[in-house]
Amino acid sequence: MDAPVEAIDGPLEAGVLFLCDHASNALPERYGNLGLAPAQFERHIAWDIGAAAVTRALATRFGAPALLTRFSRLLIDPNRGADDPTLVMRLSDGAIIPGNAMAGPEEIEARRRQFWRPYRDAVRAQLDAMTAAGPIPAIVSLHSFTPHWKGLARPWEAAVLWDADPRLPEPVLRGLRALGVTVGDNEPYDGALEGDTLFEHGTSRGLPHVLIELRQDLIAAHEGVAHWAGVLEAALRPVLARPDAHMIQHHASRTQRRNRG
């Protein structure tokens, strides 16, 4: 496996950084297959299917930088806080992960140091450089979700996840709905996860940010990736074209967000 982070170059003045936390299902050779059958690495437990391709397509369309992981979330989850109990999963959606069963504190710390931390550091360094160059950068993180969960079909085509800062999520939600997309507002997941990538680099820094999820069956093939990259471009471009919106001071707390109704 190559370096833990894939960096797509783009001008520091682009105004947006695209991220993909679960871009790859690869493992370093020394970890073998963690005791799992090969088929398990094609499932969502190993990566966010289609998300990397959409991220690269958006970076190209916007001429913007992007950062993507090069290791499977089965090794360590870069979208979890450093002390999150699910940072190294021993059981994921019914699959026991033998290679993680005996991972103690020293092994988990080694994985943090070699894989988790380099990704977080790369995001921080990129945002530092972009902030210095101006305008204030927005962060757009791309994920994907399964069409079904515990036997139930998920009706959403896309989802917008967010915590306390509405600057990007609310206009993106409106834009997607205007395009006829069936979109979940913090469904099927909630965007308030302390310690995750956007908490550290968006919420904690006061930078505008949004996490967008796409349903995996819609982006599993090239045609779907191209279509949904176009849809997201249409929803994002009007918002990202307004640098003044990124400069608005935001003071809402998580409690205020929870009380929106």
Read off the CATH number of the domain in which 67 is found. Answer: 3.40.630.40
Digit-coded pLDDT (tens) for 99-108: 899 899 999 9
Report the C-alpha gap between 25 and 45 in whole angstroms. 9
Residues whose CB falls within 8 Å of the CB of residue 223, separated by 6 or more in sequence, listed in order: none
Which tokens is 109 given? 């710390």
**In angstroms, how far is the first alpha carbon of the chain from the final one?**
46
From residue 180, give the alpha-carbon distance in Å to each of 90, 174, 211.
39, 10, 19
Of 228, 240, 245, 231, residue with least CA distance to 176: 231
pLDDT at 102: 87
Report the C-alpha gap between 71 and 48 in whole angstroms. 12
Residue 70 amino acid letter: R
Q: Structural domain of residue 93, as residue ranges?
A: 5-258
Residues of the chain with pLDDT under 50: 247-261
Which three-class secondary structure state does DSSP give residue 213?
Answer: strand
Report the C-alpha gap between 49 and 218 in whole angstroms. 10
The reply to whether omega before 135 is within 30° of 0 (cis) is yes
The position carrying tokens 């609310």 is 170
Report the C-alpha gap between 33 and 35 in whole angstroms. 5
Give the chain's domain count: 1
Buried b (16+ CB within 10 A) or exposed e, 113-151: eebbbbbbebbeebbeebeeeebbbbbbbbbbbbeeeee
Which tokens is 171 given? 């206009």
Q: What is the DSSP letter of 220?
A: S
Burial class (CB in 10 A: 0-12, 13-18, 19+), 225: buried
Which tokens is 250 given? 């935001």
